[in-house]
Structure 1
Amino acid sequence: MSTLEQTPIGAPGGAAPAGVIHDIGYQRYTGPRLSRRHVVGALYGHSLRTAFGLGRSAKAKIFPWFIVGVVVVVAAALVAIRAQIGQVVLGYAQFADTMSWLVIFFVAVVAPELVSRDLGSGVLPLYFSRPLRIADYPLAKFAALATAVFLLLGAPQVVMFLGGAFTTDAGWSGVWNEFTDLLPGLGYALLWAVVFGGIGLVVAAITGKRAFAAGGIVAVFLMTTPIVGVLSVLPSTTANQLAGLAAPSSLVQGTGIWLFRDALVTNQEGGMGIGDFGPVYALVTVGLIAGCTAVLLARYRKAARQ
């Protein structure tokens, strides 16, 4: 660090300096200038790490890794039971259905963590300075949360697949059959991830405060379930078959039954009948995802102007 003294023009030669310029070492950036794609990728990666508490305090890791531990332990238990009795207790896609209640609480905690802090602190204009665009921020957050939920449901299915592949007596044909059973399960997990991630982020972005956002997300998922129960006992068969449209969980299940009927046949026989309305469930699901994306984009356009 150096100190340079300057004497104002016109000052007497022996006069004391009128100002001091301190060279504190600022330099122009001479490294590589990365593109918008790299910025979005960094934001996505940071958000995905945040979802699991990576790079944060031990307290932030407790809940997400507790949920991860539960689903992995359940998957390992299913593998052990199958190895003992020689029969599949729970299929891959049905595993996602069974663990969906854990996904609700995972999203309720993680979604506010991803968006509420930035909304409340007023730093979004810094994010939206070039080359990041306004739409990039919510889409990167959406992708990160959906990826986190997909990993939460998909990784245990891979554990189940490995257990089934190594214990099969049918050789490579048995491994291939396990793999073809796994694919619908992963597709169904992706469906859960996109729908739940979109709804969770919308509620968190609109609510703002983390505590209120978490409660709002749980309320959206749990308070709509009784509506499905009421509609499903009406004397109208059509109302019964369309009842699942009233709640996110049953909406995903109805779409899953239509897309992965063979993998979810047990669930279909268990009580949720959609009749011939499978395409309706799929269209409503697509509309819900598109609506959540549109609301997120509108919310962050508004935040950028504040």
Structure 2
Amino acid sequence: MSTSMPENTRTPENSRIHNIGYRNYDGARLGRAYARRSLYSQSLRGAYGLGRSAKSKVLPMILLGVMCVPAAIIVAVAVATKAKELPVDYTRYAILTQAVIGLFLAAQAPQSVSRDLRFKTVPLYFSRPIERVDYVLAKYGAMASALFLLTALPVVVLYVGSLLAKMDFAEQTKGFGQGLVSVALLSLLFGGIGLVMAALTPRRGFGVAAVIAVLTISYGAVSTVQGIAYGTDHVSAIQWLGLFSPITLIDGVQTAFLGADTAFPGGSAAAPGAGAGAVYLLVVLALIAGSYAVLMRRYRKVGL
């Protein structure tokens, strides 16, 4: 039997093999740490629309301004009236502006992770020397950092204003430090919850709705039940009801350990003490760790 190629599959006599110039890469290999830092930086910039279209910058920058303008007004009034103390505590400011924080998180958490899932771009990260843990850490760190910038900047404005008004330096510095600890804990908690809600669906709209629902409905339900408990003289139950909402968890922790005034109905009578405060802190840390674990599991299930 002949082993010659059929006539229609023979290579033409005028065919050529071209060298298209592929060469080995001889540069520095920066590794996983560099890839993780790059993803973190890109995600943090993206949370404020930097490096994206102009319309992507509008909402986050407006919300950042909304967070800072009341603080600037408070400072202006304090300086003009030569007040001896600020009308709003450093630890109280984030509680009062929780709606703005929730809106920022609802807008930016889906932008950070939902689009990667929807457009199947996540595997591109893992074609580089980066692993699942690198992706989750970078995204979680970037969202928490973006929230920290949002919540810490007005606290800085309040602190600078207090110094300009010549308030007591030691007292204001102590309050400023407590405020930073409070918003750092809030940023880690809210960032984890927001990313988990957003990562459950590749649809950005569903992610936005999920984040708003978790933050708003839980706070509304807890506040309502706390009000009922206060109205029916069950004051002792108020502090334990606060365990079921992210913002009331932060309120309880800072009341117990950071000297803040509680926003719970009943005031100091319903404020968590050291024992209840320890429970609050453990729940917050468990939610942060749980959010990280859920994100790791989520990205394992999508085949990364």
Same fold (TM > 0.5): yes
Superposition pairs of residues 1-306 of structure 1, within 5 angstroms: 17=13, 19-87=15-83, 88-168=86-166, 174-232=168-226, 233-234=228-229, 235=232, 236-261=234-259, 264-265=260-261, 267=263, 270=267, 273-275=271-273, 276-305=275-304
Unaligned runs of 5+ in 2: 1-10
Deviations 1:216-269 (A, max 9, x none): 1000111112331343223544422211111111111111211212xx126467
**1:130 Cα deviation (Å)?**
4.5
Q: Is the 8 A contact 1:128 1:304 kept in 2?
A: no
Could you tell me the percent identity over the aligned residues?
Answer: 38
Work out the CA distance in 2 between the residues paired with 1:96 and 1:226: 17
Deviation string 1:60-90 (CA, Å, 9 cap, x unpaired) is: 0000000011112112111101112223111
Give the aligned length.
Answer: 285
Aligned-residue offset at 1:156 = 1.5
RMSD: 2.0
- The answer (yes or no) to whether the contact 1:124–1:304 under 8 Å persists in 2 is no
Residues in 2 aligned to 1:164 and 1:231: alpha-carbon distance in whole angstroms: 37
- Cα distance in structure 1, aligned partners of 2:210 and 2:133: 24
Aligned equivalents of 1:199, 1:287: Cα separation in 2: 12
How far did residue 304 of structure 1 move?
2.6
- Offset at 1:273? 2.4
Q: 1:230 to 1:99 in 2, by over 3 A?
A: closer
Say if 2:239 and 2:252, in contact at 8 Å, map to a contact too. no
- Rounded Cα–Cα distance in structure 1 between residues aligned with 2:254 and 2:141: 21
Alignment-mate amino acid for residue 237 of structure 2: A
Corresponding residue of 1:3:
none
1: CA distance, partners of 2:104 / 2:124? 29
Give the aligned residue type for 2:293: A
Structure 1 residue 153, shift from structure 2 partner: 0.7
Rounded to whole Å, the distance in 1 between the matches of 2:66 and 2:147 is 14
Equivalent AA in structure 2 for residue 299 of structure 1: R
Moved more, 151-160 or 19-28: 19-28
